Structure 1
Amino acid sequence: MTEATQRFFESLPARAPTVLRGLAVGTLQIDLGTGHQTEHWLVRMRPGEVRATRERGPADAIWYSSSALFDRLIAGEAQALAAVLRNESTFSGDVVLFLAFRRFFPDPPGTRDPREVARQEVGRRS
């Protein structure tokens, strides 16, 4: 496990109130593979609250990713949904948990909210 991965999971509880405002309730098991080893994280989510532990257990959904891909995700260099669609990672179970969890990943560098771009354009024309 990389230090960045450890810091990412440690940051989840503090970030949860602003990231998890929807209906995501359940447990997501995240399996990160490196070679022939897999490390497990169990992420319990409720609106505004997250608890992440280094364990396996009963889960409503399971997401597998390579450790290298996960490092790219937490750096904003890759997108979780795109990785699943390209079969670079796999997911099974309650898709709402995956969609909610991916909001913890940063946007790619240089990404701008289209609503903000539109507001700036309207302000420029006024």
Structure 2
Amino acid sequence: MTEATERFFESLPARGPTILRGLVEGTLQIDLEDGQQSEHWLVRMQPGAVRSARERGPADAIWYCRAALFDKLITGEAQGIAAVLRNESTFSGNVVLFLAFRRFFPNPPGTRDPREVARRAAGRLA
């Protein structure tokens, strides 16, 4: 487990109120595999709050991911849905929990909001 992954999970409770504003509620188990070892994180989400713990337990959904890929996800170098579609990670259970959790990942470096780009272009035309 990298220090960046550790810090990511520690930051979730403080970021939960801004990111989880919808009606998402449930528990997501994240299994991170690094060679012969696996680490398990249990993320409990509810509207406006999230708790995480390094443990395994009953979950509404389970997401399996390589630790190296997860490090790329938390830096914005990779995208969660793309990884699942490419079968680089797998998911089972309530897909809404995965879709909500991926909002904790940053955008790729250099990404700009298309609305802001359009506003700037409109300002140059005026």
TM-score by length of 1: 0.97
Once the two structures are TM-superposed, the CA of residue 122 in structure 1 deviates from its matched residue by 1.8
Counting only pairs closer than 5 Å after superposition, residues 21-40 of structure 1 correspond to structure 2 as 21-40=21-40
- Is 2:79 the counterpart of 1:79? yes
Following the alignment from structure 2 to structure 1, what is the Cα–Cα distance between the partners of residues 123 and 19? 29
RMSD between superposed Cα atoms in Å = 0.7
Following the alignment from structure 1 to structure 2, what is the Cα–Cα distance between the partners of residues 66 and 96? 21
Question: 1:99-126 CA distances to partner (integer Å, 9 max, x unpaired)?
Answer: 0000000001000011111122222222
Unaligned runs of 5+ in 1: none
Following the alignment from structure 1 to structure 2, what is the Cα–Cα distance between the partners of residues 55 and 91? 18
Question: 1:8-29 CA distances to partner (integer Å, 9 max, x unpaired)?
Answer: 0000010111111112110000
TM-score by length of 2: 0.97
Question: 1:14-60 CA distances to partner (integer Å, 9 max, x unpaired)?
Answer: 01111111121100000000111110000000111000001111100
Unaligned runs of 5+ in 2: none
Q: Partner residue of 1:116?
A: 116
- Amino acid in structure 2 at the alignment position of 1:31: D
Q: Partner residue of 2:53?
A: 53
Helix, strand or coil for the counterpart of 2:68? helix
The number of residues matched between the two structures is 126
Percent identity over the alignment is 79
Runs of 4+ in 1 over 6 A off after TM superposition: none
Q: Partner residue of 1:4?
A: 4
- Is 2:44 the counterpart of 1:44? yes
Following the alignment from structure 1 to structure 2, what is the Cα–Cα distance between the partners of residues 121 and 18? 29
Question: 1:62-112 CA distances to partner (integer Å, 9 max, x unpaired)?
Answer: 000000000000011000000000000000000000000000000010000
Following the alignment from structure 1 to structure 2, what is the Cα–Cα distance between the partners of residues 12 and 93? 21
Following the alignment from structure 1 to structure 2, what is the Cα–Cα distance between the partners of residues 25 and 56? 18
Following the alignment from structure 2 to structure 1, what is the Cα–Cα distance between the partners of residues 104 and 36? 27
Following the alignment from structure 1 to structure 2, what is the Cα–Cα distance between the partners of residues 17 and 115? 24
- Amino acid in structure 2 at the alignment position of 1:95: V
Following the alignment from structure 1 to structure 2, what is the Cα–Cα distance between the partners of residues 103 and 41? 17
